[in-house]
Amino acid sequence: MNHSADETRKGLFYALGCYAIWGLFPLYWYPLNHAPIGADQLLAQRIVWSAAFAVLFLAFSRQKADFFRAWGQPKTIALFAVSAFCIAMNWLIYLWAITNGHVLDASLGYFVSPLFNILLGRLVFGEKLNRRQAAAVVLAVVGILWLAVPVGQIPWVALLLTFSFGLYGLVRKLAPLGALPGLVLETLLMLPFAASYLLYAGRHGGLVFAELNLLQTALLVGSGIATTVPLILFASAARRIPLSTLGVIQYGSPTLQLLLGLVLFGESFDTGRLIGYGWVWLGVALYFSGILQTGKKAV
């Protein structure tokens, strides 16, 4: 099998797995939505447990040498400091959104984000789109605009989620380090800030970890695995496939969230939203038809 084709297939598999997990995230975080803990402590706890599990995964991998080598490269440290900041901001904004009644803005952000990835791929890496793919992007833009207009205000939450995660994907694609050692480096760079915040909260009586029930505690600790696995998959995918392809696959995540909202959480789905989603789905279908056609010609 051609090595390049094999790597591309691996990238597609990693991307599909990553966005499937993220699409099901509302199921995971739902019990914590009712916990007496704010987004700030949720973020700090998530960073601590993510760092712990990422280090554990690295200990049993064959990539430890790459990780330790990176510590002696200031440019690599600086690059991962940027990616760590981007993903920390993304986590904080998302957690704040779901605990402060901005679920619509958060959902919109994950529909806009793939378009930003496509834009970055075109501007930074010169990734070209054929006519079919360009038409797909236009259809997706129409759908996003249709969904954004009824909001009636600038969706800052959506835009911040879009920019933070889009820039994170860009930095990880440029990063000269594998998915797992890169994630360990990121989380360790964030760890001192998260641990310091939790210590400060504990000393001032603001730490609410002990007030959680057994399920909430287990979910909070398990958030390290729930966070680490999809990020490793995402970083692995970003290094193997074009950002434009990654951007289109990302639409699967908010689509899964939509289905969960309709089936399990009883959220309403009016005609206006159906039209907007329809445009987006049509664009995704058109884009993938172009990919399939290209693949058949290459066989």
Report helix, strand or coil for 127. coil
Q: Taking all residues of the chain, what is their mean pLDDT, rounded to a whole number?
A: 82
Q: How confident is the model at residue 299 (pLDDT cuts 50, 70, 90)?
A: very low
Report d(CA 65, CA 181) in Å as an integer: 9
Q: What is the pLDDT of residues 136-181, one digit of tens each?
A: 778 888 887 887 776 556 678 888 998 998 899 888 888 878 878 9
Rounded alpha-carbon distances, angstroms, from residue 36 to 25, 39, 40, 207, 208: 19, 10, 12, 10, 7
Greater pLDDT, 75 or 32: 75
Q: What is the mean pLDDT of residues 17-44?
A: 85
The upper half-sphere exposure of residue 88, i.e. CA atoms within 13 Å in the direction of its Cβ, equals 22
Greater pLDDT, 267 or 227: 227
Residues in the chain: 299
Q: Do 183 and 66 meet the contact criterion of CB atoms below 8 Å apart? A: no
Report d(CA 113, CA 251) in Å as an integer: 9
Report d(CA 119, CA 60) in Å as an integer: 37
Angle at 125 between CA 20 and CA 71, to 5 degrees: 75
| Segment of 68-77, 237-246, 253-262 carrying the highest mean pLDDT | 68-77
Report helix, strand or coil for 186. helix
SS3 sequence of 132-174: HHHHHHHHHHHHHHHHHHHHCCCCHHHHHHHHHHHHHHHHHHH
Report d(CA 211, CA 234) in Å as an integer: 33
In percent, how much of the chain has pLDDT > 70?
92
Instruction: State residue 20's pLDDT score.
Output: 92
Report d(CA 42, CA 23) in Å as an integer: 19
- Read off the DSSP letter of residue 177: S
Percent helix / strand / coil, the chain, rounded to 5 = 85, 0, 15
Number of H helices, E strands in the chain: 13, 0
Q: What is the mean pLDDT of residues 40-52?
A: 91
Report helix, strand or coil for 38. coil
Q: What is the mean pLDDT of residues 63-80?
A: 90
CA 246 to chain centre: 11
Instruction: State residue 298's pLDDT score.
Output: 45
Instruction: State residue 85's pLDDT score.
Output: 96
Report d(CA 95, CA 41) in Å as an integer: 10
Q: Do 243 and 170 meet the contact criterion of CB atoms below 8 Å apart? A: yes
In single-letter form, the type of residue at position 93 comes to I
Q: What is the pLDDT of residues 112-140, one digit of tens each?
A: 777 787 778 888 888 777 787 778 778 88
Is the pLDDT at 296 greater than 80? The verdict is no
In the chain, what are the domain boundaries?
3-298
Report d(CA 92, CA 242) in Å as an integer: 27
Instruction: State residue 17's pLDDT score.
Output: 93
Report d(CA 233, CA 88) in Å as an integer: 18
> 0.75 exceeded by the pTM?
yes
